[in-house]
């Protein structure tokens, strides 16, 4: 056993046997932003055998405040986050096999990547991808760890197929909101707190200490000094289409995914959610205006001037992203604004 992990093996719940189990495991991390880079670093330092990181974005200057793997040079080179993370993680621990996937974590890609994975960690920025992860987890019986943070607020929950409620169950019971870092900001301590919860749960699962896995949904607000741990076992729904007695895995189906279409003859992509929303345009306008965006609106829509694009958002959640024909880039921008 390498001296490298001596302090970790001295921790009785892990020990040398647990370290060997960790070394034999493969973790899939969806998203290489704040949560993903933090979890990836912790697990790489812990000696996980293999880590696969999936992300479709590249490193920007605004990431450096909280995304700990990246540098100013990565920003200058506009490196894809997955590639930059892979490079840095290999420098941290050459014993760990790091795989990067530069692309969208859609249901097809998730199904392809699920094979041989022992754990999935959620580090995404939107519920469409999370619900697809949730269905993949249930379909292939792979545990996953939900995590999210915005402002000074964070939350986490560990989902074990066949034992705990799934995310689809929880969304019917808990008021999980769709705010984003691009609309209300985020502080790095909140990121670190969620990462710590996720990484601790990950180690429990990797060493197969199932009794130690937290059964509660955790949320906190570091600025307001609030911490909540809520037992949610009763939220498990036998009729749930993701984890119930007769699952159909609805969020892997095309009709339940956000649609994007390049408008004919225009440098514009239309993005629409799987189901109509009811956007509070006045509130969204205030949030975006506070961030320095030029926002104009009427009772029916908002027009938001970005750096290179203009986004028109309608009350039902549909949006027109002007200034691009790249559907992936348009969906990324859409998720940043609407979560």
Name the strand (E) or helix (H) holding 269. Answer: strand 268-272
Q: Sign of torsion, CA 286 188 196 98?
A: positive
To the query of whether residue 181 is one of the catalytic residues in this protein, the response is yes
Exposed / middle / buried, residue 115 (Cβ in 10 Å: 0-12, 13-18, 19+) = exposed
| Contacts for 307 with CB less than 8 Å, ≥ 6 apart | none
User: Which one is catalytic: 149, 166, 169, 181?
Assistant: 181
Residue 4 phi/psi, 5° resolution? -50, -40
Q: How far is CA 140 from the centre of its chain?
A: 19
Radius of gyration in angstroms for the set of CA atoms belonging to the chain, rounded to a whole number: 20
Neighbours of 247 (CB within 10 A): 15
8 Å CB contact between 284 and 313: yes
- Active site amino acids: 181
């Amino acid at each position: 056993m390498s001296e490298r992990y001596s302090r970790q093996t001295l921790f009785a719940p892990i020990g040398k046997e647990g370290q060997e189990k960790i070394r034999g495991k493969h973790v899939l991390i969806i998203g290489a932003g704040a949560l993903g880079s933090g979890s990836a670093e912790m697990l790489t330092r812990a000696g996980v055998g293999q880590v696969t990181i999936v992300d479709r974005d590249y490193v920007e200057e605004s990431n450096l405040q909280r995304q700990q793997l990246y540098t100013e040079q990565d920003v200058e080179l506009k490196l894809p986050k997955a590639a930059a993370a892979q490079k840095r993680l290999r420098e941290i621990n050459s014993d760990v096999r790091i795989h990067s996937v530069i692309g969208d974590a859609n249901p097809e890609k998730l199904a392809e990547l699920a094979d041989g994975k022992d754990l999935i960690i959620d580090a995404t920025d939107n519920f469409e991808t999370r619900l697809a992860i949730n269905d993949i987890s249930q379909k292939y019986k792979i545990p996953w760890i939900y995590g999210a943070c915005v402002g000074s607020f964070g939350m986490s929950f560990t989902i074990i197929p066949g034992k705990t409620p799934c995310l689809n169950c929880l969304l019917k019971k808990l008021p999980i909101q769709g705010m984003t870092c691009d609309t209300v900001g985020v502080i790095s301590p909140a990121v670190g707190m969620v990462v710590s919860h996720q990484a601790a749960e990950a180690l429990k699962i990797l060493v197969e200490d199932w009794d130690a896995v937290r059964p509660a949904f955790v949320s906190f607000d570091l600025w307001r000094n609030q911490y909540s741990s809520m037992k949610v076992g009763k939220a498990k729904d036998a009729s749930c289409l993701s984890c119930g007695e007769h699952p159909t895995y609805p969020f892997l189906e095309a009709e339940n995914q956000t649609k994007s279409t390049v408008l004919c003859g225009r440098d514009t992509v239309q993005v629409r959610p799987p189901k109509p929303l009811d956007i509070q345009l006045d509130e969204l306008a205030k949030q975006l205006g506070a961030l320095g965006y030029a926002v104009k609106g009427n009772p029916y829509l908002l027009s938001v001037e970005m750096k290179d694009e203009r986004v028109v958002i309608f009350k039902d959640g549909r949006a027109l992203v002007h200034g691009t024909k790249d559907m992936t880039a348009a969906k990324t921008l859409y998720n940043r604004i609407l979560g």
